[in-house]
Amino acid sequence: MSKDEARFPVSIEIPVAWGEMDALNHVNNVVYFRYFETVRIEYLRRIGMLDVLSTAGVGPVLAETSARYRRPVTFPDTLKAEARVSELDEHGFTMEYRLVSQAQGAVTTEGTARVVMVDFGTGRKAPLGEALKQRVLQLEG
């Protein structure tokens, strides 16, 4: 399966705000990471990760992130932000993102993130846990 055909089980719509544009009349590069964060949080909500955070003192921390800008986005537009987990391991996972412009009918941006679980009491890596792994696998289908 090619990357373009990859299944993204979490998809939300994000309207582009006028204030997200920069002096060059397109969405500023930093804003894309907020879009990624928005769909990442929705993904974490769907697998119950936010409940674990509030009860166990263990939660996800962004260790690394990247973006590949393919086409500029301008106001007005609405983006379909998509997320999937492409790799799971003992202490976390790798996510992939895709932003699709309604106005352009095309993928504008792709991204990745490495997320690790951290015990906030000790500041050390913590196991992802079998229950969360199973929820990810179930969501991913």
Per-residue model confidence as pLDDT tens digits over 25-62 = 999 999 999 999 999 999 999 999 988 777 788 999 99
Number of Cβ within 10 Å of residue 54's Cβ equals 8
Tokens of 51: 């409940």
For residue 83, give Cα distances in angstroms to 39, 71, 113: 6, 19, 10
Long-range contacts of 117-125 (CB under 8 A, 24+ apart): 117/58, 117/59, 117/60, 117/61, 117/91, 117/92, 118/58, 118/59, 118/60, 118/61, 119/57, 119/58, 120/57, 120/58, 120/59, 121/57, 125/91, 125/92
Q: What is the CATH number of the domain that holds 11?
A: 3.10.129.10
Query: Global pTM?
Result: 0.93
Per-residue model confidence as pLDDT tens digits over 92-126 = 999 999 999 999 999 999 999 999 999 999 999 99
Domain extent for 35: 3-140
Amino acid present at 129: G
Note the pLDDT of residue 137: 97
Say how many domains are in the chain: 1
Buried-exposed string 96-130: b where 16+ CB fall within 10 A, e elsewhere: bbbbbbeeeeebbbbbbbbbbbbeeeeeebbebee
